[in-house]
Each structure stands twice: as structure tokens, then as C-alpha cells.
């Protein structure tokens, strides 16, 4: 993409070269508006690239009505975006870039080669041919004046390799991401700027995150357990959780033991409920069914069988195919007397209580909750108190689980904001 000298006044500025910002640039180009894209990093799409390292999951195939429920309390607003650019449009768009998609066994949709780089490369090339201009290593630091003095242009201030530069844009889109993965540029440094502007911001919190375990005595995992079992997976288990408000969660899957607690897919799926419960009550405890394919009666029958001189670990392995990590986890969270009581032990195998003390830090989370409150924006995602300023992507106050929901909504918010910008510029 072109990086030639920037004119003093431009039609459209997009700050943030992630999925939301790049999608907005594409939709603006379709309306005949060549946007200037600014990013603090040396290259575009840094978080997009990292997210695609394990296979780029762009969306999900579940029915649209169910898909929209994944956005929790923000479902009504996000659904409006998705009605314009939803899962099918994501697949069609990717195919249009020469990157077909495929459906995984879980219903998730991936790029066919499972990589982010070919898609991003084709995308940037198309934006280049459409006239978009990319400016890297330009860190946005704020505004050159309050909104009352903008006079039909948003004064944007950047720290660049050549010093401070001010750019005036007839409309501007902020798509700066949240504060997870700060190493790729999404560091949340925009929060105090928004607060100074008078734009309400919900506190940024970790989402799709791991948690620290409370352990049996509230002190976390024992050093032995953490040293020997960090990274061990717990497969084919069911996690059940009911919070203090009565909201229930139940899902089968897998997660991993970490050095301080738990993480992985099944934990991420329940992370919003677990995090909110910890905020309300100081702790969250879920129940883990280690043997979901066996009834409670079957488990009790196997546990009660005589084990002679065999250890508990050997007995559980031979009768129920439980591995070392399972037995170690039992020792970690259950009192010794429960391990010696067959009925209580059998019950624990079907509902093992795992207490959590806190979510892992935001910088470790896959995504974040919180951000610019949607009530501060109109339907086009334009700021009510600063006309000409739009928002999109993860810096908005919504969240979703992994599985393609995050990326789809980021794309859709960029489409919605671009439409509003085009209308403001008289090309909608």
C-alpha cells in the first residue's frame, strides 16, 4: 500500500490496521473514498496474524439466531451489525480474496490453508489497488483541540518517526483494539484520551482468559502439582457452573492445567460468567465431571470394587481409565477423608469442585470486555459528543467467546462505521 506524503486535510482517517479498520477501509473504497490508515506497529494486522497461528477461525456455521446470542447483553446491538455483514458475508468476502474457507468438526469456519498470512496479504493488496494508503509506525496520541473547535475536521495528533504530526480528517475512525496482547499494539492507551474527551468507557477486563485456582486451602496449586502437571490437558470432561444470579453453563470439551490455575477452550467458553462471579463474590467454583460418559451409579460401582494393595491412582486408572493428572487433581482439591470414602469420591468424580480466585491479567487474555460504551454512539457508531468521530472493533463495549464470533463482529462493526462515514461525506 502506498505511503506517500500525507496531505494536510483528508476525507477519512482510520486509526488501527486490524480487522475492523481494514474492513472499514475496504467499504469506504467501495463508496469511492480512499482512506488513510494509521497504525503504531511496523506492519498491519499484527493481532490478526497472531490469532491465526493455530488456524485462522473467521466465523461459525451455527444458525444465525443462535450465533447472535453469543454476544450476551450486547446481542441486540451487535445483531444489527451482523444483519449487514454476518457469517455468510465473511465466507463470501474471504473467497473473493482467493482464500476459500472450510468448516471444522465443531462448526467453526477456517481459511482453507489454516493461515492468516495469505488472507492478509491478498487483502492489503486489494486495498492498495483501491487507493487506500497505509502509514505504519504512526502512533495516535490524541486530538489537537476539543470537539467544539473541530470546525468540520477532526484534528488527529500522531507521534511518527519524523516527529509529531497533526492530520485533519473530515471524519475519523478509531479501531484501536482493547488491551489484550499489548505486544501487538493493543495496549489500551486510548482510554484516558477518551475519558478526557468525555466519552464514557466501561473498564477493560480480561475475556476468553485463564484463571488462578484457589486450591484446597485458598493458596493456589501446590508447588508439586504446578511443577508436574502444568500444561497437562483434561479431555472429554464436562464443566458445569451456576453463578449467584442463577445463570447456568454446561459444556463438554477440554482445558489445560496451568502453573497457576486453568486455561484453554472450555475455560474460555465460561470465562465471562466466571469472571463476573469473582467480581461479585470474590470467588467462583465450577463442577467438573471427569467421567461424563459414565453414570454416577457406574462410577460408584467401579470405585467400590476392592483394590487390595494397589494405590488409589492405580485403582482409578485400571477401573475408570483415569490418568495421573486426574488423580493428582483429586488430591489437590479434595480433603484426605473424601479420598478414603468411596461414595464421596465417586460423587466428586462426577462433580469435582474447582475454586477460582481471580482471572489472569488482561495482557494474557485472548480478548477483552469493556470499552467505549455503545450508548455514547449513534447507530452508525459515531460519537454523539464528537460528530465526525467513529468507533469500531474490540475497543467497543462488547465481548464474545472464541469460535469466530469475535472476528465476525469486528468485521461487521467496521462495515457499519464505514457506512456512517460515507454518509457523512455525502457518498453513502
Tell me the pLDDT tens digit for each residue of 287-320: 999 999 999 999 999 999 998 888 989 999 999 9
What does the pLDDT average to over 403-424?
97
DSSP string of 203-269, one letter each residue = EEEEES--EEE--TTSS-S-HHHHHHHTT-EEEEEEEEEE-TT--EEEEEEEEEE-SSEEESHHHHH
The pLDDT tens digits of the residues spanning 379-394 come to: 999 999 999 999 999 9
pTM confidence score: 0.92
Domain boundary assignment for the chain: 9-206+370-424, 211-359
Q: Which residues contact 50 (CB under 8 A, 6 or more apart)?
A: 181, 184
If one counts every other C-beta atom within 10 angstroms of the C-beta of residue 325, the result is: 18
Grid cell at residue 77? 446491538
The pLDDT tens digits of the residues spanning 71-116 come to: 999 999 999 999 999 999 999 999 999 999 999 988 999 999 898 9
What does the pLDDT average to over 11-38?
97
The pLDDT tens digits of the residues spanning 202-221 come to: 999 999 999 999 988 888 99
pLDDT above 80 for 4: no
DSSP 8-state class, residue 164: E
Under CATH, domain 9-206+370-424 is a member of which superfamily?
FAD/NAD(P)-binding domain (3.50.50.60)
pLDDT above 80 for 54: no
pLDDT above 50 for 2: no
- Residue 28: pLDDT band (50, 70, 90) is very high
Determine whether 139 is exposed, middle or buried from the number of CB atoms within 10 Å of its CB (0-12, 13-18, 19+): middle
When mean pLDDT is compared across 11-15, 150-154, 202-206, the lowest value belongs to 150-154
If one counts every other C-beta atom within 10 angstroms of the C-beta of residue 187, the result is: 17
Helix extents (H) in 108-207: 117-129, 191-197
The pLDDT tens digits of the residues spanning 339-363 come to: 999 999 999 999 999 999 999 999 9
**Which pLDDT does position 183 carry in this prediction?**
87
Amino acid at each position: 500500500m502506498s505511503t506517500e506524503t500525507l496531505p494536510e486535510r483528508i476525507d477519512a482517517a482510520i486509526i488501527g490496521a486490524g480487522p475492523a479498520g481494514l474492513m472499514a477501509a475496504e467499504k469506504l473504497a467501495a463508496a469511492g473514498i480512499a482512506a488513510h490508515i494509521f497504525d503504531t506497529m511496523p506492519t498491519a494486522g499484527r493481532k490478526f496474524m497472531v490469532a491465526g497461528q493455530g488456524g485462522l477461525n473467521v466465523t461459525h456455521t451455527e444458525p444465525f439466531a443462535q450465533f447472535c446470542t453469543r454476544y450476551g447483553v450486547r446481542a441486540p446491538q451487535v445483531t444489527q451489525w451482523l444483519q449487514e455483514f454476518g457469517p455468510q458475508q465473511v465466507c463470501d468476502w474471504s473467497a473473493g480474496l482467493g482464500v476459500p474457507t472450510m468448516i471444522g468438526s465443531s462448526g467453526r469456519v477456517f481459511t482453507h490453508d489454516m493461515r492468516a498470512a495469505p488472507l492478509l496479504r491478498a487483502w492489503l493488496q486489494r486495498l492498495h489497488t483501491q487507493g487506500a494508503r497505509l502509514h505504519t509506525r504512526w502512533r495516535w496520541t490524541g486530538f489537537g483541540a476539543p470537539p467544539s473547535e473541530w470546525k468540520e475536521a477532526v484534528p488527529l495528533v500522531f507521534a511518527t518517526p519524523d516527529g509529531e504530526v497533526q492530520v485533519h480528517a473530515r471524519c475519523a475512525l478509531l479501531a484501536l483494539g482493547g488491551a489484550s496482547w499489548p505486544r501487538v499494539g493493543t495496549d489500551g492507551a486510548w482510554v484516558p484520551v477518551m475519558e478526557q474527551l468525555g466519552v464514557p468507557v466501561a473498564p477493560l477486563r480480561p475475556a476468553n482468559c485463564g484463571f488462578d485456582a484457589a486450591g484446597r486451602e485458598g493458596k493456589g496449586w501446590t508447588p508439586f502439582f504446578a511443577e508436574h502437571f502444568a500444561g497437562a490437558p483434561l479431555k472429554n470432561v464436562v464443566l458445569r457452573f451456576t453463578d449467584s444470579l442463577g445463570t447456568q453453563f454446561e459444556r463438554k470439551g477440554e482445558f489445560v492445567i496451568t502453573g497457576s490455575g486453568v486455561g484453554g477452550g472450555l475455560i474460555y467458553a465460561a470465562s465471562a460468567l466466571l469472571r463476573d462471579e469473582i467480581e461479585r463474590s470474590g470467588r467462583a467454583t465450577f463442577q467438573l465431571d471427569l467421567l461424563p460418559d459414565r453414570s454416577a451409579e457406574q462410577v460408584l460401582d467401579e470405585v467400590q470394587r476392592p483394590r487390595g494393595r494397589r494405590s488409589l491412582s492405580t485403582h482409578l486408572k485400571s477401573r475408570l481409565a483415569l490418568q495421573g493428572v486426574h488423580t493428582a487433581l483429586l488430591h489437590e482439591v479434595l480433603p484426605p477423608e473424601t479420598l478414603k470414602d468411596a461414595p464421596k469420591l465417586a460423587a466428586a468424580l462426577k462433580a469435582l469442585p474447582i475454586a477460582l480466585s481471580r482471572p489472569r491479567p488482561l495482557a494474557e487474555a485472548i480478548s477483552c470486555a469493556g470499552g467505549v460504551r455503545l450508548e455514547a454512539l449513534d447507530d452508525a457508531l459515531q460519537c454523539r459528543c464528537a460528530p465526525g468521530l467513529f468507533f469500531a472493533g474490540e475497543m467497543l463495549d462488547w465481548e464474545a467467546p472464541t469460535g469466530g464470533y469475535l472476528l465476525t463482529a469486528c468485521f461487521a462493526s467496521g462495515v457499519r462505521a464505514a457506512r456512517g462515514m460515507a454518509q457523512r461525506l455525502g457518498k453513502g
